[in-house]
Amino acid sequence: MIQDFGSKKYKQTVMQACKNVLDVDVGTLFIHKTAEHAEFFGFAAKKTSALEKLTLNQTPLLKSFASYFKKELGSLLRTMETEANHLIHLKGKDFCCADPIYPTLDPFTYKAYLKDLGLGPLIKKATLLSSRESQCIRQLLKGKSAKETGAALGLSPRTVEFYLENIKNKLSCTSKQEILKIGQELDRLGLLI
């Protein structure tokens, strides 16, 4: 959040305070949301620690530690929960912030993030597809036949088969199973148009 909101001076002040007061350079926060509550579990460390590598490469290890921590200290956490005050009461009228929070990223920033994660080849595959081809993949993911896809999209089954053949060529696939596998990844990442 610090990276997205506030002036440059504010960001520098907050980051410097983290370094000076908390002796922290980097941090990771896991958030688990349920219908009743949201659980926050944070890890913080100096830049020289292995936290960044653990976060990127061994996320399950950090999550398992969080589970272990909750299990071992469960009784203490439950006591704290019953004694805790609500954030609204603690913050009062300052609880709601006047600045809007934007939960979505612009496409350019999102794609840059995916590239940083090493998913550049998938982004490239997504950009090769036309909107009609993406629609055909979506129908394929729903288990629809060429005839059903054609009816849903207002196309003939032969046109759908033509699109599927183009998709195979563009994505270098040899079967519908390969298209399905890549299509699932593209859909999961929100890259299908």
Residue the block writes with tokens 């040899």: 174
Burial class (CB in 10 A: 0-12, 13-18, 19+), 179: buried
Q: Which pLDDT does position 2 carry in this prediction? A: 46
Alpha-carbon radius of gyration of the chain: 23
* 157 touches 167 (CB < 8 A): no
Q: Which pLDDT does position 1 carry in this prediction? A: 41
What six digits make up the tokens of 167?
A: 């998709």
H helix or E strand, kind and range, residue 39: strand 38-45
User: Which one-letter DSSP state was computed for residue 46?
Assistant: -
Helix (H) and strand (E) counts for the chain?
A: 11, 2
- Encode the chain (193 residues) as per-residue pLDDT tens digits: 444 556 778 777 877 777 777 666 667 777 888 787 788 887 777 766 666 666 667 777 777 888 888 888 888 888 887 777 666 666 666 666 666 666 666 788 888 888 888 888 999 999 999 999 999 999 999 999 999 999 999 999 999 999 999 999 999 999 999 999 999 999 988 898 7
Please report, for the chain, the start and end positions of each structural domain, with discontinuous segments joined by +. Answer: 8-94, 107-188
pTM of the predicted model over 0.75 = no
Q: Which pLDDT does position 128 carry in this prediction? A: 95
Q: Which pLDDT does position 7 carry in this prediction? A: 73
Q: Which pLDDT does position 172 carry in this prediction? A: 94
CATH class, 107-188 region:
mainly alpha
* 55 touches 41 (CB < 8 A): no
* 129 touches 178 (CB < 8 A): no
Q: Which amino acid is at 12?
A: Q
Q: Which pLDDT does position 144 carry in this prediction? A: 95
Helix axes 176-188, 131-141, angle to 10 degrees: 100
